[in-house]
Chain A
Amino acid sequence: MTAISMAERNRLETKYPAVFHQGFMRRWGLLVGIGLALAYLVFCWFFFSVGPALQNGKWDRAGIYIQDWYSWRAQPRLRFEDGVVVPQWSSRGQYAEGAEIDWLTPHADGGMTATFGGAEDRLEISTSQVDVYVDGVAWPVMITEDGALAPGNPPANIEQDGSKVLVSYGFAGQAEIRGNQVAVQRRFLGWANFLYDTRSPLWGNDLFDTIGLVVSGHGQQVLEEWLGNRAWQHADILAKLMQTLVMAFVGTLFATLIAFPLAFVAARTITPNRAANWLMKRGFDFLRSIDMLIWALFFTRGFGPGPIPGIAAILFTDTGALGKVYAEALENVDDKQREGVRSVGASPASVNRFGVVPQVLPVFISQSLYFWESNTRSATIIGAVGAGGIGLKLLEAMGTNSDWDKVAYMVLLILGVVFLFDNVSNAIRSRLIGPAAH
């Protein structure tokens, strides 16, 4: 590096004052902005009381909810009845009546063995004593009148909690040993009974068996049993998804059809009437500014829950939004083509048809496709506030706090559909206006 002379330095400074003597905002503006944003975030930390809320969060449950997305748990209660251990399943039991369960084996003496993963980790349950095997070592838990009693110096997996003993095997499951029962929670990867519910004659067939059945000509039965799955309600979920898609499609299409002629009235280059332009544009602004949520709740009151209020909400909001976009596109058209058509004596309608529409139609269609895409997402959410569709189904599934596997399934369906539509509308768009334009 060679240093520059003083004279050269002065010359450069006087020649480029904007580089050497920048204003305060230019020099520090970015830092000031970042500082203000940070200060604002700190303020909001207290405004929303984030700290206490995070502290009071049920984080142990969050782990379970997340695990529920990709796994399922069987949770029988093994009750002690007159010296015999009797399994009791909830109404949502994942096993058919009398099915043989490989991890839960009853013994001739009335006891029961529940294995968690390998044979090293298991519970040997009898009504007087539960032997907890952790890594092959037995820890006897005594069942007494006052509850369960853990042995001295137990490993970290075994914990005495009042009159209960809690046993944890990590992901494989956990057990709660009490004076009168053992509540077992056994977790498996995957979704239980996703294909067929326990009452179906096809229960127990996995995916490969199912493909075999379809190939051997039982496709009809497979489809019926799958759609009729009582645990997963495939038919209902798919119908709700369809409703959501219909909402987005019909709403956007109608909005396009209505906004198209109105935009010609709103564009001042097409309709040389200031009052009409102004009125139409303010009308668009009004429709646009009222939130989709408000329209959705309003029409749900009018039409009752279902896709129609969803359609109406999208229609009203997007007529405003599309009308505004269309009118702007119309005001930017090339005047030469209109002049050309007008110069040969065409009627005003023909001037618009042949001088304007060919220029703007690709832009219009491309914008409508954008809105269609984004409305597929919006329809999910306004469905949740009452318009129906998959959004409401999602909200119901989340409300139970135990159907997270179903939530995951619906999320996957929605993601799939959104990606599909993304690609379809991208393909149409690049055909229409060339790949560069989006």
Chain B
Amino acid sequence: MTDVALSPASQTLLRHYRGQVLTRRIYSVIGVVLVVVALLAAMNYANAANSGKFFERLPYLFDFLKTFTPNDPMEIFRAMFDIESPYYDGSLKFDYTSDRHYLTESLYIPNFVYQLIITVNIAVVSTIIGGSIAFGLCFFASANLVGAGVVRWIVRRIMEVLRAFPEIVIAGLLTAVLSIGPIAAIAAVSLHTIGALGKLFFEVVENADMKPEEGLRSVGATWLERVRFAILPQVLPNFVSYTLLRTEINVRASTIIGAVGGGGIGEVFRLSIGRDHAAKTYAIVILLLVTVVCIDQFSGWLRRRLVGNQSFELGRGAA
């Protein structure tokens, strides 16, 4: 390797190259050291702030699981489908039957399935409401359709605030007014959806091809007509794709909001794990897992049909 004789020009090149590599490495090392220091400080802080210390608690992490096992595996399915338990002793822990939701005399929906339906419905309703409002707003936020800087600036700031506003505060405020229920969850998730989808939507609109719009403008079409016939056909598939992606995210969001006072499966889950109801907890975990996987798969399939694989590359981080 070293026996290759280099011309003076090449040697200068090599020297500069090596110099640059060295600078780059030094910067990388400084960056890594900074991150490691921040990480250690943060972990130390977290450990001090926690009520149980990390390394003291670590060996006992799975301890509660040892006592947290149902009497037999079938118990999980009995809890899931509200079938009477042979261990029933009058306590809430083995009382699976009293929360059935009867449709007719004998046909009933198991409670957890019913709560799951509520949660999924909250997610879908909020996606529809939030998505519609975001759809209406996004055209006013895109630079290629609205020349006026003020309107664009205001709409974008509104979206940013809605995106960053903590959902539990909206839920909490509405819970205080309307008492605990799904409306608080719907409002909270919808408002966040407006912000999140609005941003993705106007980015799509800004990337749209402006030639059809120019064509319509040349024949004297109004702003509304141009948006309807030039922009909308281009962006609609991406809009639908993002909305489906948002539905997936909103199912998770409405579960969590449920746990802090929005009702639905989240609340039932928080109560059951807090009260040590092992079989019920596992039943909910399995139900949630199955639902989330099904919704992910279905919406993934639909999105692939609508816009092909590109939908999986765009704007992923906007969760």
> Which A residues have a C-beta under 8 Å from some C-beta of B?
37, 40-41, 44, 47-48, 50, 53-54, 56-59, 61-62, 65, 239, 242-243, 246-247, 249-250, 253, 285, 289-294, 297-299, 301-309, 311, 325, 328, 366-367, 369-371, 373-374, 377, 380-382, 384-385, 388, 391, 394-395, 398, 401, 407, 411, 414-415, 418-419, 422, 438
Contact assessment for B50 and A306 in the assembled complex, using a CB-CB cutoff below 8 Å: yes
Binds A, one of B101-109, B137-145, B253-261: B253-261
B256 pairs with A293, CB closer than 8 A: yes
Query: A325 is contacted by which of B45, B167, B316 (Cβ under 8 Å)?
Result: B316
6 residue pairs A–B, Cβ–Cβ below 8 Å = A53-B179, A291-B256, A302-B61, A304-B50, A369-B317, A415-B165
- Residues B49 and A239 in contact, CB atoms below 8 Å apart: yes
Complex contact A249–B317 (CB within 8 A): no
Q: Cα distance A365–B257 when bound, in Å?
A: 30
The chain B residues found within 8 Å of chain A, CB to CB, are 35, 38-39, 42-43, 45-47, 49-52, 54, 57, 60-64, 118, 121, 124-125, 128-129, 160-161, 164-169, 172-173, 175-179, 181-183, 186, 252, 255-257, 259-260, 266, 269-270, 273-274, 285, 288-289, 292-293, 296, 312, 316-319
A377 vs B189: C-alpha distance in the bound complex, in angstroms? 13
Q: In the complex, what residue of chain A is closest to B296 when comparing beta carbons? A: A289
A49 to chain B, nearest CB (A): 9
CA distance A328 to B80 in the complex (A): 35
**B64 with A48: CB separation less than 8 A:** no
Most buried by A among B38, B160, B164: B164
A53-B178, A289-B296 known; A311 vs B168 contact (CB < 8 Å)? no
In the bound complex, CA of A15 to CA of B292 (Å): 47
Residue pair A307, B166 in contact (C-beta under 8 Å): no
> What is the CA–CA distance of A106 and B128 in the complex, to the nearest angstrom?
59
Q: Is A297 touching B46 in the complex (CB atoms < 8 A)?
A: no
In-complex Cβ contact of A250 among B46, B51, B128, B169 (8 A) = B46
Interface SS of chain A: helix, strand, loop or mixed?
A: helix
Whole-angstrom distance between the alpha carbons of A50 and B288 in the complex?
Answer: 25
**Could you say which of A62, A294, A370, A407 has the most chain B C-beta atoms within 10 Å of its C-beta?**
A294
Once the chains bind, are B316 and A305 in contact (CB under 8 Å)? no
Task: Assess A371 versus B164: contact at CB under 8 Å? Given A294-B269, A401-B176.
Answer: no
Given contacts A40-B124, A293-B266, A311-B46, whether A377 and B317 have CB atoms under 8 Å apart is: no
A291, A369, A394 interface centre (most CB from chain B within 10 Å): A291
For the complex, what is the distance from the CA of A301 to the CA of B255, rounded to whole Å? 19
A308 near B52: Cβ-Cβ < 8 Å: yes
Cβ-defined partner of A249 (8 Å) among B42, B175, B260: B42
**Chain B: which residue is nearest A249 at the CB level?**
B42
Q: Does the CB pair B172–A398 fall under 8 Å?
A: yes
Top 9 nearest A-B pairs by Cβ distance? A370-B317, A306-B50, A304-B52, A398-B172, A307-B46, A304-B51, A418-B164, A302-B61, A62-B177
Question: Which A residues lie within 8 Å of B60 (CB)?
Answer: 302
In Å, the complex CA distance between A59 and B176 comes to 10
A370-B318 Cα distance, complex, nearest whole Å: 7
How would you classify the secondary structure of chain B's contact residues: helix, strand, loop or mixed? Answer: helix
Point out the residue from A243, A253, A290, A394 that lies within 8 Å of B168, measured CB to CB: A394
- Please tell me which one of the listed residues A58, A246, A395 contacts residue B172 in the complex, with CB atoms under 8 A apart: A395
Q: Determine if A302 and B62 form an interchain contact, defined as CB atoms under 8 angstroms apart.
A: yes
Closest to A421 in B: B164
Contact B64 A394 (CB under 8 A): no
Chain A residues lying within 8 Å of B172, measured Cβ to Cβ, are: 394-395, 398, 407
- Contacts A44-B125, A56-B178, A293-B266 aside, 13 further interface pairs with beta carbons under 8 A come to A37-B128, A41-B129, A57-B178, A62-B176, A65-B177, A249-B42, A294-B288, A297-B259, A302-B62, A308-B52, A384-B260, A394-B172, A415-B165
Q: In the complex, which residues of chain A have a beta carbon less than 8 angstroms from the beta carbon of B317?
A: 366-367, 369-371, 373-374, 438
Contact at A380–B42, with CB atoms within 8 Å? no
Expressed in whole angstroms, the minimum distance between the Cβ of A139 and any Cβ of chain B is: 33
Known: A253-B35, A292-B256, A418-B164. A308 touches B54 (CB 8 A): yes
Which of B285, B288, B317 has the most chain A CB atoms closer than 10 A to its own CB? Answer: B317
Q: Are A306 and B128 in contact (CB under 8 A)?
A: no
Contact among B57, B181, B255 with A293 in the assembled complex (CB-CB below 8 Å): B255
Our pick among A59, A308, A394 for the contact of B177 (Cβ within 8 Å) is: A59
CB of B228, distance to nearest CB on chain A (Å) = 11
Q: Could you say which residues of chain A place their CB within 8 Å of the CB of B259?
A: 293, 297, 385
User: A380 touches which one: B39, B45, B161, B166 (CB < 8 A)?
Assistant: B166
**Are A291 and B292 within 8 A (Cβ)?**
yes
Residues of A within 8 A of B42 (CB): 246, 249-250
Specify the chain B residue showing the minimal Cβ separation from A44. Answer: B125
A54 to B182, CA, bound (A): 12
